[in-house]
Structure 1
Amino acid sequence: MAESDKIFARISECPTLFGMSRATVYRGKDKGLWKIYKLGKISLVKISEVQEAIEASAEA
């Protein structure tokens, strides 16, 4: 599966994918910008939710 085909990303991948720290990912969740999904012990974010929040903040 190509990187662009991924629906979810691990929290640890967010610095590479979005240029944000893990702490920023959790702050975004606390602010209600996106959800964090659990798969056993793995924490995931939906890539489209994070991208939409980034685009919305860039427009504001």
Structure 2
Amino acid sequence: MPTPIYVRINAAPELFGASLRTFYRWANDGSIRIYKRGGCSFVKVTEVMAWIEEGTSTEVA
């Protein structure tokens, strides 16, 4: 199964092993971006992976 491009924020903890609260903290400090569409919140898998692997913030527009 291919890696998804985006995952809903509530599915991210299972995929990455971090709590939902941690994802919101990372978004608040600018490390990752939470995308909103139609009342749903998503994270971009490659942005989270890059941040984890590099240990630095990704570029957030």
Q: What range describes the TM-score normalised by the shorter chain of this pair? A: 0.7 to 0.9
Q: Tell me the number of residue pairs that the alignment of Structure 1 and Structure 2 aligns.
A: 56
User: Which runs of no fewer than 5 residues in structure 1 stay unpaired?
Assistant: none
Aligned to 2:9: 11
Cα deviation digits, residues 6-46 of structure 1 (max 9, x gap)? 11011111111100111000100011111110011100000
Q: When the two structures are superposed, what TM-score results if normalisation uses the length of structure 1? A: 0.83
User: Which runs of no fewer than 5 residues in structure 2 stay unpaired?
Assistant: 56-61
Greater fraction of residues in helix: 1
**Partner letter of residue 47 of structure 1?**
V
1:1-60 → structure 2 map (5 Å cutoff) = 2-4=1-3, 6-57=4-55
Q: When the two structures are superposed, what TM-score results if normalisation uses the length of structure 2? A: 0.82
Q: Percent same amino acid among aligned pairs?
A: 42
Distance in 2 between residues matched to 1:29 and 1:49, nearest whole Å: 11
